[in-house]
Amino acid sequence: MHHFYYKDSELYVEDVPVRSLVERYGTPLYVYSAQTIIDHYTRFDHALEAVDHLICYAVKANSNQWILKQLVNLGSGFDLVSGGELYRVLRVGADPQKCTFAGVGKTQSEIEEAIKAGIYSFIVESEEELYQIDKIAARLSVKAPVAFRINPDVPALTHAKITTGTDLNKFGISFCQVEDILEKSLKLPNVFLKGVQIHIGSQIQSVEPFLLAIQRVIPLVEKMKKRFGAEFFDIGGGIGIVYDKALESGEHAWWQERNELLTLNRYANAIIPLIKPLGMKILVEPGRVLVGNAGILVSQVIYVKKGVSKKFVIVDAAMNDLVRPAFYEAYHQILPLKEQPNRHLEVVDVVGPVCESSDYLALDRRLPEFRSGEYLAVLSAGAYGFSMASNYNSRLRPAEVLIQGNQIQLIRKRESYSDLVTLEE
Ligand code: LLP
């Protein structure tokens, strides 16, 4: 569910016509709905009511401080993977005791910063990292909390580039090596075991991979609790969202839940019977499912070009603004800001100005005819949209606005040419 809909043929976000935002802030423009984030967080929180739990939002999905602030206000914790993310969440008043720090390549300074901040737990991904944390904790005269990320070696049934839980991936400690490393960790004076974590991939659209992964590690998790005092089991993120038909053209109602879809309730109802008997604190690390459908990328058509075998709608947003189509062949629904029911449909590529053939937002897409100067919205761009944006081709990254009801807040200004070169002075 989200808060983008057509009224009188105009696309709205909450109570605001998107067109008015474009007139004020230009394009390309990321537009977020605060209420959508609040709704998703609250639903997830309720869905997990039966267990002692903590939602740790995966900051990488969208790390704008104002989005993070919304989540702080909701009581969220945070899943961090860099010193930069730690810096961001502390700046907006996050409770460090609700923060975990994962990632295969934590540097010495990042480990030191996280220990000094007093995070809830490191999520350790290798033996060498464990020794490094122990060494730095000794230097700081503390005992650092660690959890082991177990790689359960299960297929996530998602895109190869976002699969993380098999032995071919760099993540976590292989299932068969965990006990050995655990034994070694017990001999280290400056770390103590706090928990266990798994995360098998992203945009997972059925509950089976989650169940399989949890079932596989549960005996080990129980052992780590009973023998070594682990207090939490972190089951990662990865819940998929709807990208196609997130909003049916011409439909005035909000997106309807489909039966086969992995909803937050279906996810929770399936996993709770497995994890509740553990009697442990359960952590989840959702990113996409909290913010993905809460954002759109609005763009203006610059030219329409009829080639010999294809028609191209050339827009002012490109792969540097939203890399998902180029990187993962990802599908994002595209809609006109103004509904044009009488326009005929045609098959086009929607492409950006970047000098790469992979610079597209949609390929061979059946869309109502677009004319230059008109605007379109790329839906479900709230997760891994701006956070993966770059300045490639020396393009300026888009502005971002956050809407709540009729309140409009510019949460990131459009970059300027001087921003491109300041650090090179
Ligand atoms: N926890 C860990 C350890 C992760 O690595 C990730 C995502 C998450 C949680 C959150 O996963 P989510 O709930 O958002 O699926 N750029 C890709 C997605 C990469 C995901 C990386 N890790 C995309 O645009 O599809």
Q: In this structure, are 346 and 378 located in the same domain?
A: yes
Q: Are residues 337 and 355 in the same domain?
A: yes
State the residue range of the domain holding 101. 34-288
In a domain, 22, yes or no: no
* Last residue in a domain, options 288, 321, 354: 288
- Please check whether residues 202 and 255 belong to one and the same domain: yes
What is the distance in A from the centroid of ligand 1 to the CA of 354? Answer: 26
The 10s digit of each residue's pLDDT in 86-127 is 999 999 999 999 999 999 999 999 999 999 999 999 999 999
Query: Of 288, 318, 343, at which residue does a domain stop?
Result: 288
- The residue whose CA is least distant from atom 24 of ligand 1 is 384
Contact 150, 220 (CB under 8 A): yes
Cβ atoms 35, 28 nearer than 8 A: no
Closest CA to 262 of 286, 280, 282: 286
Which residues are catalytic, by number? 355
For residue 220, how far is its CA from the centre of ligand 1 (angstroms)?
24
- Domain with 135 in it: what CATH number? 3.20.20.10
Same structural domain, 254 and 319:
no
Confidence label for 247 from pLDDT (cuts 50, 70 and 90):
low
Q: State how far the alpha carbon of 107 is from the alpha carbons of 13, 82, 96, in Å.
A: 41, 9, 19
Please choose, from the candidates 106, 116, 182, 97, the residue with its C-alpha nearest in 3D space to the C-alpha of residue 147: 182
For residues 37-47, average pLDDT: 97
The pLDDT value recorded for residue 175 is: 85
* Tally of domains in the chain: 2
DSSP string covering 236-293, please? ---B----TTSS-TT--SPPPPPTTS--HHHHHHHHHHHHGGGTSEEEE--SHHHHGG
Domain-embedded: residue 318 = yes
Instruction: Give 317-329 pLDDT, tens digit per residue.
Output: 999 999 999 999 9
Q: Verify that 251 and 297 share a domain, yes or no.
A: no
Whether residues 184 and 214 fall in one domain: yes
Residue 177 has pLDDT above 60, yes or no: yes
* Residue of 40, 60, 206 with the most ligand 1 atoms within 8 Å of its CB, for mutation: 60
Q: What is the dihedral of CA 70, 244, 48, 155, to 10 degrees?
A: -120
**Does one domain contain both 272 and 304?**
no
Average pLDDT, the chain: 94
Provide the pLDDT for residue 129.
97
Q: Let me know if residue 127 belongs to a domain.
A: yes
In a domain, residue 261? The reply is yes
The lowest-confidence range among 37-41, 42-46, 248-252, 336-340 is: 248-252
Is residue 159 assigned to a domain?
A: yes
Q: Could you report how far apart the first and last alpha carbons of the chain are, in Å? A: 46
Mean pLDDT of 25-52: 98
Compute, in angstroms, the gap from residue 126 CA to the centroid of ligand 1: 19
pLDDT for residue 277 is more than 60: yes
For strands 53-58 and 281-284, give the pairing.
parallel
**Per-residue confidence (pLDDT) for residue 259, from 0 to 100:** 53
Kindly state the percentage of the chain with pLDDT values over 90.
87
ipTM value, please give it: 0.99
Say which CATH number the domain at 405 has: 2.40.37.10
User: From CA 182, how far away is CA 177, in angstroms rounded?
Assistant: 9
The angle at the Cα of 286, spanning 282 to 288, to the nearest 5 degrees, equals 170
Q: Do 300 and 404 fall into the same domain?
A: yes
Could you tell me if 335 and 408 lie in one domain?
A: yes
Q: Which of 234, 259, 288 is the last residue of a domain?
A: 288
Query: How remote is the C-alpha of 126 from its chain's centroid?
Result: 24
Q: Are residues 156 and 237 in the same domain?
A: yes
Note whether 243 and 316 are same-domain residues: no
CA distances from 278 to 146, 149, 223, 314 (A): 19, 18, 10, 54
Query: Exposure of 267 by Cβ count < 10 A (0-12 exposed, 13-18 middle, 19+ buried)?
Result: buried
* Residues 132, 262 within the same domain: yes
Statement: residue 146 has pLDDT above 80: yes
